[in-house]
Amino acid sequence: MAKTAADLTAEEMQAYRAGLARKPAWDTPDLLARRCRALQVAKRVADSLKEQFGARQVLLFGSLAHGHWYTRNSDIDIAVWGLEPSRFFEALGVAEALSSDFDIDLLPMEDCKPEWRDVILGEAQPL
C-alpha cells in the first residue's frame, strides 16, 4: 500500500514537494472542474465531521489546499481536531461515502507527529 502524507518523513515530504514544483501546470478545464468538485466534497466532509462527530476544527491541507500541486490523482487531505478515537473509522467511512470519486485522508491532529503539525498548519485552509 502506498504511503499517505501522515506516513512520510520530513525528508520524504521535502523531496515530494520538490518534485511537485518541477511539474508542469495542470490548468486544464477538466482538472479545474475536478478540483472544484473535490473542494465541495471536502466542505461536505467537514460539515459531517462537525455535525455528526463533534469535531471542533477541520482544515484542508495538501495538494487540494495548495492548488498548483493538485493532480487528477490527488486525494482530499483533512486534518481534524476533537474526533473521538473510538469513532475514527466510522467517521472515515462516512467521509468516504460522500464521494466515490476521491480518496479521503483523514488525520486526527491529536495523533499528528510534531514535525508534521507545523507543516500542515502552515498550508491548511479552514473548512
Per-residue pLDDT of the chain (127 residues; tens, 9 = 90+): 567 767 878 888 888 777 766 655 556 888 889 999 999 999 999 999 999 999 999 999 999 998 778 888 899 999 999 999 999 999 999 999 998 899 999 999 999 998 889 989 988 999 9
Q: 46 burial class (0-12, 13-18, 19+ CB within 10 angstroms)? A: buried
Cut 0.85: pTM above it: no
Using DSSP bridges, classify how beta strands 76-81 and 104-108 pair: parallel, antiparallel or unpaired. parallel
Domain total in the chain: 1
Residues spanned by the domain of 104? 27-126
- In a 13 Å sphere around the CA of 77, the CA atoms on its Cβ side amount to 23
Residue 118 is assigned to a structural domain of this protein: yes
CATH number at residue 61: 3.30.460.10
Residue 109 is assigned to a structural domain of this protein: yes
Residue 20 is assigned to a structural domain of this protein: no
Spatial contact of 23 and 31, defined as CB atoms under 8 Å apart: no
Residue 88 is assigned to a structural domain of this protein: yes
